[in-house]
Amino acid sequence: MTFDQLDARAAHLDAEHAATDLRERFLLPPGVVYLDGNSLGALPRAVPAAVRDAVERQWGRDLVASWNSHAWWDAPVRVGDAIGRLVGAARGQVVVGDSTSVRLHQSLHAAAALRPGRSVVLTEPGSFPTDQYVVAGVADQVGWRVEHATPAEIPARVGPDVAVVVLSHVDYRTGELLDLPGITAAAHDAGAVVLWDLCHSAGAVPVGLDQHHVDLAVGCGYKYLNGGPGAPAYGYVAGRHQDAFVNVVPGWHGHAEPFAMADDYVGAAGIARARIGTPPMLSLLALEAALQAFDGIDIGDVRARSLSLTRFLRDAITDVLPDAVFASPEADGLRGSQVALRHPDAYGIVQALAARGVVGDFRSPDVVRLGVAAPYLTHADMVTAVRELRDVLDRGEHRDPAWTTRNAVN
């Protein structure tokens, strides 16, 4: 297609998907196409006022009474329930606080306690580096052997020696969406527990934690959930495992009677048992406000919009740049909410695009990652991104020394 044809097609698709256009619920800089929501979500419109209220009225005026009068104490579970709605978890199974690394560490130790006597943790070699580091660290602590298999190999590999299978629902580089139902069922058939990292799927893809009988899950609050930089993470513990859940970081907020100040630890009932210590309340309340952007919206409708956007983006790139090499899957059902390209000058391309107002990101060694946060992006935005990408490559801007020098964060 020509760009005129792409513009016309985009207008038609935007009209078709108008009911799920939530851009007015976000505060986005004018003239920017933001394709990095899978790294840091855009600012929801409700957040600034909520943070001001938390600082000026709750903390500033009501001080310590806010733990009761503004229900600060209940926030980790209350916000957990709001996230639970987006990942298919019934109330009382998600708790918010701490970082993804802490939640992953905690959940792996819980898995070890759920499957004593088993010697292997099974994961894939290309998972996010932090996940690999935490898996290796916990394996050393509990005496597991770390084994690697591709997602396609895992159902055949999982056996009676495997305690837990740990995977990211969406590959952070390629955007490949893994078969959560199939892998979970195969692991359960072998008696293993399954732990899913939802960082790159929650808020963008239906997960169905309860529907697919997932055991444990973790995820961050700052990508597609738009909770802001450093937003607290969350952990999911299926209700059937909560009585047996062993909290390896037994902080006082997870105690059955936290204000009794008892000498010995006794875990609370239900998901509160997975709480650790005092959460970062300002960040937690910002995340709670951010989740209002999904009010009245079904995650299946977000997924439908996402698939239309990513399919259109991929097809437009193919039309305009027929030599483009994709890292992300061709099939819609195998793709999360991003389109990834491979190019030897990927870093320079990302920087040159950002200078033109199209913000994506780079993943080593050669991936241009274009994250499509469906609630605040349009098909017209996709055309803008492709037009700028074509111009960057045609003009050789990606080889300009101004864009090839690596920043500390890239």
| Residues classed as catalytic | 128, 197, 222-223, 369
Identify whether the C-beta of residue 1 lies closer than 8 Å to the C-beta of residue 9: yes
- Report the distance separating Cα 88 and Cα 209, nearest Å: 5
Of 234, 185, 243, the closest CA to residue 214 belongs to 185
Helices 379-394 and 299-320: crossing angle in degrees, nearest 10, is 30
- Report the distance separating Cα 73 and Cα 82, nearest Å: 16
Could you identify the residue written with the tokens 């909410």?
Answer: 337
The CA-to-CA distance between both ends of the chain, in Å, stands at 33
Strand order through the sheet with 162-168? 94-96, 234-237, 216-219, 193-197, 162-168, 120-123, 145-148
What would the two tokens of residue 348 be? 């320079």
Identify whether the C-beta of residue 207 lies closer than 8 Å to the C-beta of residue 235: no
What would the two tokens of residue 122 be? 């099974």
What would the two tokens of residue 308 be? 């239309």
- Report the distance separating Cα 300 and Cα 387, nearest Å: 30
Q: What is the dihedral of CA 344, 393, 351, 227, to 10 degrees?
A: -90
Of 85, 131, 91, the closest CA to residue 238 belongs to 91
- Report the distance separating Cα 365 and Cα 342, nearest Å: 9
- Report the distance separating Cα 262 and Cα 252, nearest Å: 9
